[in-house]
């Protein structure tokens, strides 16, 4: 967020030099501190685009020790399998122990199919885990079920082995 | 009459004085012909001439006209009967470049008119609504003392005729002329068989003319490409962008044009040597100039010439900064495309797309040819579903930079963006309403992916779907009255439609068990979507009026189709030889192009609107 605000300030400062606000291909200052390139100061380009750089979000909580952080699913399914039950119970205990702990349940789908539909499939998976945790007594305010769809595969590849590793929900403690 | 039977030819001037007009079988349209048409004596035919004439007259009310030819050199008279084709066919261009219609009728197949007969500019402008036309020969005809053909076009079968001296062009193909001659010859006898044959032939001749566009056949690469010559623009070297080359590349990429080098510098004020370009085989010529202005901007001027008719089709001038030079060239390509095909060009539109390079994701904005890409967003986390606002200034998209999907609205030129939807859970699939006031989005805030409406300035969303299934990928119909979306309420993902404010849901796709990613054309007639067929994800196009579906690509990993604003092309993401690529295709799948893009995996295209 700070980076973004600083970038905005840089952009606005540069904009103050030109008669128009629009800049042509001015990259916002990145982490390595490279200076923004000069723009066509005379007037604005109708087809100009200004680049925005998004920063990274870091984790602050490692979660329960010694417990897996991933629940796997079958193809086109959001049913939690029996062998994931122990894992979910372990996480439920961890969350019940401290009401301030928050976890983001990140659902994923394998690479096949459209992005938005797979986002919704991943969402179904993360909500299944959320419901399971809720049934084990975790308060809903500690949970957020989100989805990455097929955007962040754990294992790249187009074979069934890779697909099986990508149909998952990850526990991401904040 | 006897002399004509059996010979498909038109009467000679000598016969004109003696013969009866119109020939048997051709309805008499002229109120000024005195006397009744004579019936052939001694012929006992079930179909008398009169009956034939009346029948044809009723059937082809607007088809037959009489052309009085006059050889401009000798002044000799000729007469022909010729077809008129369907009302919607333009048969020429006025000096302003607009298509003109001759009484809503075209003229084909006149024996005395050929392809390079031209219009007199003054008369044309008035003519569009006037009932009649003249066909005027051109200078070549005069030089060679051939008949250029002054034609009186008779207005209708019934009604009084007022031949006026107006001029119009006739564009005739040899096929049409052949059909005409055959039909006329066949109809000249009272034989029933031949009469029916004449009907059949005239129907067949009428039909293709009704659908043929003026001059350009847009049916595929290599079949018919309009040859267009490009002159070197005067002072083009002063510009960092080669304007004429960009225009040529645009037009050639459409598959409907073939570029020729003019080999000379011609600016927009020059009067080109039309017959010279005709000999080169060009149908059109583009000339122009680039001038650097005192304030650093560039003044781009151009003129388009119709080489076949030797006419100036118009031009324009654009004063732009260096950053908009490519845009000016694309606008020129749009102008040429629209003048010569009648369709609005999309060369000056932009596309948005996403690339992934290692762990870096970029959202790019590029020209419709894929060039001049500039990054609107760069992020270590994924970006999906870019969606242009109808004003072409803003882009909505889903960014995962907060480690969850959040919908942003992003002003492209300033880089200012704001969060539109960051509710609990996932926020995705933004789609603008045609008036730019609202977006439909998919939110999981109430559990499950459901579709909501949210004001473009943000705020509390209004829920539209109420189901326990996945409802996502909303897209507005072009008139804003309905929303098409994907739902698996029936057990597998299919495309449905509901009113834009929510309400009863209707299913739209019925073939296949996996149909997603709808995109609608601007006229609301076509829907492009992805269907899984035999494990392969293939782009399909559905005619919503006719409920017909067609798969149009050869690839098997198609995603995210998006219509061009003129509804003639679709851009989509796919894989070619194992690498992600963006492709454009016409709706019939015949003309395709692969877009140049930035390096890395490339996906999620969205075609922007027409630029103001």
Ramachandran bin of A91, using left for φ above 0, alpha for ψ from -120 to 50, beta for the remaining angles: alpha
Q: If you average pLDDT over every residue of chain B, what do you get?
A: 73
A124 to chain B nearest CA, in Å? 6
Which residues lie below 8 Å from residue B101, measured CB to CB, with a gap of 6+?
A: B87, B89, B90, B91, B128
pLDDT tens per residue across span B180-190: 455 555 545 55
DSSP state of B307: T
pTM above 0.95, yes or no: no
Nearest to A103 by CA among A74, A69, A54, A128: A69
Would the pLDDT of B5 be above 50? Answer: no
**Top CATH class, B350-607:** mainly beta
Rounded CA-CA distance B528/B536 in Å is: 16
Q: Average pLDDT for residues B295-319, to the nearest whole number?
A: 92
Greatest mean pLDDT among B21-30, B210-219, B490-499 lies in B490-499
Do the strands B134-135 and B167-168 form a parallel or antiparallel pair, or are they unpaired? parallel
User: Which has the minimum average pLDDT: A4-13, B355-364, B386-395, B471-480?
Assistant: A4-13
Nearest-CB residue to B376 (from A52, A123, A127): A52
Rounded CA-CA distance B172/B111 in Å is: 9
Concatenating the DSSP letter of every residue in A31-87 gives TT-PPPPP---SS--TT--B-EE----------STT---EEE--TT--PPPGGGHHH
Cβ separation of A57 and B516 shorter than 8 Å?
no
Instruction: List the domain boundaries for chain A.
Output: 1-56, 70-173
Would the pLDDT of B137 be above 70? Answer: no
**Position B54 confidence tier, pLDDT thresholds 50, 70, 90:** low
Between B173 and B445, name the one with better pLDDT: B445
Element (H, E) at B211: helix B192-211
Q: Average pLDDT for residues B387-407, to the nearest whole number?
A: 96
**Which tokens sit at B127?**
């003519």
Q: Supply the CATH classification number for the domain A70-173.
A: 3.30.1330.60
Would the pLDDT of B247 be above 90? Answer: yes
Rounded to the nearest 5 percent, the helix, strand and coil shares of chain A are 35, 15, 50
Check: CB of residue B160 under 8 Å from CB of residue B116: no
Nearest to A151 by CA among A108, A106, A121, A105: A108
Would the pLDDT of B33 be above 80? Answer: no
Check: CB of residue B550 under 8 Å from CB of residue B512: no
Do the strands B592-594 and B601-607 form a parallel or antiparallel pair, or are they unpaired? unpaired
pLDDT at position A62: 79
Would the pLDDT of A53 be above 50? Answer: yes
Rounded CA-CA distance B93/B120 in Å is: 11
Angle between helix axes B243-253 and B325-341 (nearest 10 degrees) is 50
**Position B612 confidence tier, pLDDT thresholds 50, 70, 90:** confident
Rounded CA-CA distance B99/B305 in Å is: 15
Between B358 and B80, name the one with better pLDDT: B358
Element (H, E) at B598: none
Check: CB of residue B606 under 8 Å from CB of residue B384: no
The DSSP bridge partners found for residue B230 are B261, B286
DSSP state of B585: E
* Common-topology check for domains B226-341 and B350-607: no
Q: What are phi and psi of B388, to 5 degrees?
A: -70, 140
**Position B104 confidence tier, pLDDT thresholds 50, 70, 90:** very low
pLDDT at position B309: 87
| Structure-derived torsion over alpha carbons of residues B534, B536, B541, B542, reported in degrees to the nearest 10 | 30
Q: Average pLDDT for residues B95-115, to the nearest whole number?
A: 30
Would the pLDDT of A18 be above 80? Answer: no
pLDDT tens per residue across span B519-556: 999 999 999 999 999 999 999 999 998 888 999 998 99
Cα B230 to its chain centre, rounded Å, is: 22
B525 to chain A nearest CA, in Å? 23
Element (H, E) at B548: strand B548-551
Nearest to B187 by CA among B214, B172, B205: B205
| Maximal CA-CA distance, chain B | 96
pLDDT tens per residue across span B563-606: 999 998 999 999 888 788 898 888 888 788 887 655 678 999 99
Between A58 and A101, name the one with better pLDDT: A101
Rounded CA-CA distance A2/A76 in Å is: 40
Would the pLDDT of B518 be above 60? Answer: yes
Determine the length of chain B. 612
A105 to chain B nearest CA, in Å? 9
pLDDT at position A2: 66
User: Which has the minimum average pLDDT: B112-116, B423-427, B493-497, B583-587?
Assistant: B112-116
Q: What are phi and psi of A9, to 5 degrees?
A: -65, -40
pLDDT tens per residue across span B255-294: 778 899 988 899 889 898 988 988 888 999 999 999 999 9
Would the pLDDT of A39 be above 90? Answer: no
Ramachandran bin of A116, using left for φ above 0, alpha for ψ from -120 to 50, beta for the remaining angles: alpha
Check: CB of residue B484 under 8 Å from CB of residue B520: yes
Do the strands B471-476 and B462-463 form a parallel or antiparallel pair, or are they unpaired? unpaired
Angle between helix axes A85-97 and A115-135 (nearest 10 degrees) is 70
Rounded CA-CA distance B316/A137 in Å is: 72
Nearest-CB residue to A47 (from B324, B415, B516): B324
Rounded CA-CA distance B118/B474 in Å is: 52
Query: Which candidate in B444, B493, B514 is best for mutational testing of the A interface (most A CBs within 10 A)?
Result: B444
Element (H, E) at B586: strand B579-586
Do the strands B406-411 and B394-399 form a parallel or antiparallel pair, or are they unpaired? antiparallel
Share of chain B above pLDDT 70, in %: 63
Would the pLDDT of B2 be above 50? Answer: no
The CATH label, of 3.40.50.720, 1.10.645.10, 3.10.20.30, 3.40.50.10070, for the domain at B226-341 is 3.40.50.10070
User: Which has the minimum average pLDDT: B134-138, B256-260, B494-498?
Assistant: B134-138
Cβ separation of A117 and B372 shorter than 8 Å?
no
Q: Average pLDDT for residues A88-100, to the nearest whole number?
A: 93
| Structure-derived torsion over alpha carbons of residues B278, B280, B285, B291, reported in degrees to the nearest 10 | -130
Ramachandran bin of B517, using left for φ above 0, alpha for ψ from -120 to 50, beta for the remaining angles: left
Query: Which candidate in B377, B385, B394, B413 is best for mutational testing of the A interface (most A CBs within 10 A)?
Result: B413
Name residue, tokens 């020059």. Answer: B270
Between B55 and B243, name the one with better pLDDT: B243
Nearest to B543 by CA among B529, B553, B555: B529
pLDDT at position A108: 96
Query: Which candidate in B318, B319, B374, B451 is best for mutational testing of the A interface (most A CBs within 10 A)?
Result: B374
Would the pLDDT of B226 be above 80? Answer: yes
Rounded CA-CA distance B291/B422 in Å is: 50
CA-atom Rg of chain A in angstroms = 22
Instruction: List the domain boundaries for chain B.
Output: 13-211, 226-341, 350-607
Which residues lie below 8 Å from residue B343, measured CB to CB, with a gap of 6+?
A: B218, B337, B566, B568
Q: Average pLDDT for residues B220-237, to the nearest whole number?
A: 77
For chain A, counts of helices (H) and of strands (E): 4, 5
Cβ separation of B327 and A8 shorter than 8 Å?
no
Rounded CA-CA distance B226/B257 in Å is: 5
| Structure-derived torsion over alpha carbons of residues B303, B307, B313, B315, reported in degrees to the nearest 10 | -10
Query: Which candidate in A1, A7, A114, A140 is best for mutational testing of the B interface (most B CBs within 10 A)?
Result: A114
Q: Which residues on A lie below 8 Å from B470 (Cβ)?
A: 117, 120-121, 123-124
Q: Which residues on B lie below 8 Å from A15 (Cβ)?
A: 414
Check: CB of residue B361 under 8 Å from CB of residue B379: yes
pLDDT at position A158: 85
Order of strands, edge to edge, in the sheet holding A168-173? A70-72, A168-173, A103-108, A143-149
* Interface contacts (A, B; CB < 8 Å): 183
Q: Which residues on B lie below 8 Å from A49 (Cβ)?
A: 365, 374-376, 412-413, 415
Ramachandran bin of B157, using left for φ above 0, alpha for ψ from -120 to 50, beta for the remaining angles: alpha
Nearest-CB residue to A152 (from B379, B382, B414): B382
**Which tokens sit at B458?**
């943000």
**Which tokens sit at B411?**
């002003």
Check: CB of residue A106 under 8 Å from CB of residue A129: no
Instruction: Residue B54: count other Cβ atoms within 10 Å of its Cβ.
Output: 14
Q: If you average pLDDT over every residue of chain A, what do you get?
A: 80
**Position B32 confidence tier, pLDDT thresholds 50, 70, 90:** very low
Q: Average pLDDT for residues B141-152, to the nearest whole number?
A: 35
CA atoms within 13 A on the CB side of B33: 16
**Position A47 confidence tier, pLDDT thresholds 50, 70, 90:** confident
């Amino acid at each position: 967020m700070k980076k973004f605000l600083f970038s905005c300030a840089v952009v606005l400062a540069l904009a103050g030099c030109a008669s128009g606000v629009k800049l042509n291909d001015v990259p916002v200052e990145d982490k390595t501190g490279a200076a923004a390139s000069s723009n066509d100061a005379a007037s604005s380009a109708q087809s100009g685009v200004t680049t925005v750089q998004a920063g990274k979000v870091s984790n602050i909580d490692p979660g329960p020790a010694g417990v897996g952080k991933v629940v796997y699913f079958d193809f086109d399914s959001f049913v939690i399998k029996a062998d994931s039950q122990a894992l979910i119970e372990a996480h439920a205990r961890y969350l019940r122990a401290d009401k301030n702990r928050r976890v983001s349940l990140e659902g994923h789908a394998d690479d096949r199919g459209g992005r938005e539909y797979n986002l919704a499939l991943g969402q179904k998976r993360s909500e299944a885990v959320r419901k399971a945790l809720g049934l084990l007594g975790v308060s809903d305010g500690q949970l957020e079920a989100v989805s990455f769809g097929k955007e962040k595969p754990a294992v790249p590849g187009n074979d069934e082995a890779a697909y099986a590793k990508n149909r998952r929900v990850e526990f991401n403690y904040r | 009459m006897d002399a004509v039977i059996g010979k498909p030819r038109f009467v000679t001037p000598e016969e004109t004085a003696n013969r009866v007009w119109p020939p048997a079988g051709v309805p008499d349209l002229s109120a000024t012909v005195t006397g009744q048409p004579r019936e052939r004596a001694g012929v006992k035919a079930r179909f008398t001439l009169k009956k034939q004439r009346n029948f044809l007259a009723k059937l082809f009310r607007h088809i037959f006209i009489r052309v009085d030819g006059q050889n401009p050199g000798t002044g000799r008279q000729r007469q022909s009967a010729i077809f008129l084709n369907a009302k919607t066919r333009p048969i020429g261009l006025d000096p302003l470049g607009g298509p003109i219609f001759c009484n809503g009728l075209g003229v084909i197949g006149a024996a005395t008119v050929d392809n390079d007969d031209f219009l007199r500019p003054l008369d044309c402008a008035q003519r569009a609504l006037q009932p009649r036309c003249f066909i005027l020969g051109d200078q070549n005809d005069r030089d060679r003392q051939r008949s250029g053909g002054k034609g009186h076009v008779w207005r209708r079968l019934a009604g009084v005729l007022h031949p006026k001296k107006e001029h119009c062009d006739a564009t005739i193909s040899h096929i049409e002329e052949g059909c005409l001659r055959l039909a006329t010859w066949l109809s000249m006898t009272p034989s029933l068989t031949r009469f029916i044959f004449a009907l059949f032939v005239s129907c067949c001749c009428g039909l293709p003319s009704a659908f043929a566009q003026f001059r350009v056949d847009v049916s595929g690469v290599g079949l018919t490409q309009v040859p267009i010559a490009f002159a070197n623009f005067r002072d083009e070297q002063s510009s960092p962008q080669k304007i004429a080359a960009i225009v040529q590349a645009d037009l050639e990429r459409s598959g409907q044009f073939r570029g020729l080098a003019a080999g000379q510098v011609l600016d927009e004020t020059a009067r080109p040597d039309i017959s010279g370009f005709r000999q080169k085989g060009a149908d059109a010529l583009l000339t122009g100039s680039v001038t650097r202005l005192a304030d650093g901007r560039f003044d781009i001027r151009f003129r388009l010439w119709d080489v076949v008719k030797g006419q100036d089709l118009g031009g324009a001038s654009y004063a732009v900064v260096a950053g908009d030079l490519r845009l000016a060239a694309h606008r020129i390509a749009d102008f040429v495309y629209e003048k010569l095909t009648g369709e609005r060009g999309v060369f000056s539109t932009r596309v948005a797309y996403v690339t992934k390079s290692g762990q870096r994701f970029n959202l790019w904005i590029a020209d419709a040819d894929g060039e001049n890409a500039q990054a609107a967003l760069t992020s270590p986390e994924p970006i999906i579903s870019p969606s242009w606002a109808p004003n072409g200034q803003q882009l909505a998209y889903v960014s995962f930079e907060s480690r969850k999907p959040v919908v942003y609205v992003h002003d492209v030129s300033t880089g200012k963006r704001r969060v539109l939807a960051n509710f609990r859970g996932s926020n995705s699939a933004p789609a603008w309403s045609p008036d730019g006031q609202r977006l439909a989005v998919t939110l999981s805030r109430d559990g499950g992916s459901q579709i909501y409406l949210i004001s473009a300035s943000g705020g509390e969303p209004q829920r539209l779907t109420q189901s326990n299934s996945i409802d996502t990928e909303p897209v507005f119909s072009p008139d804003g009255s309905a929303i098409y979306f994907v739902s698996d309420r029936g057990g597998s993902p299919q495309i449905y439609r509901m009113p834009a404010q929510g309400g009863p849901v209707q299913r739209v796709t019925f073939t296949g068990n996996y149909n997603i990613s709808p995109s609608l054309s601007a006229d609301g007639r076509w829907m492009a979507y992805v269907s899984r067929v035999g494990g392969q994800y293939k782009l399909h196009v559905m005619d919503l009026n006719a409920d017909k579906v067609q798969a149009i690509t050869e690839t098997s990993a198609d995603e995210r189709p998006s219509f061009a604003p003129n509804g003639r092309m679709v851009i989509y993401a796919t894989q070619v030889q194992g690498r992600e690529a963006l492709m454009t295709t016409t709706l019939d799948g015949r003309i395709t192009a692969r877009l140049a893009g930035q390096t890395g995996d490339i996906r999620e295209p969205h075609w922007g609107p027409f630029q103001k």
